[in-house]
Amino acid sequence: MKGMSIMTEYKVYITPEDWFNRGKEDAWSGHPKQAPCDPQAASLYDLGYSEGKIQRSPTLNQ
């Protein structure tokens, strides 16, 4: 997946890893899911959100 990016509705390129990390951050901060419209980006966001619900934030563990 490296080098690959997904264009959002605002023509901003966000990598798949960014979407995954955004999902984890939302879960860690207690925000509701706000997946993007792009199916691939939404899948990565959901995966990150699910992982974030399972794992605690590294900054909260200190």
Residue 25: in which H helix or E strand, if any? helix 16-29
Q: What is the pTM of this model?
A: 0.72
pLDDT number for residue 28: 92
Domain layout of the chain by residue ranges = 6-54
pLDDT number for residue 61: 54
Q: Which of 28, 34, 35 is nearest to 54 (CA)?
A: 28
Query: Which pLDDT band, with edges at 50, 70 and 90, does 22 fall under?
Result: very high
Please state, in angstroms and rounded to a whole number, the distance separating the CA atoms of residues 31 and 13. 23
Token duo for residue 54: 């399972």
Q: Does the pLDDT at position 36 exceed 70?
A: yes
pLDDT number for residue 32: 94
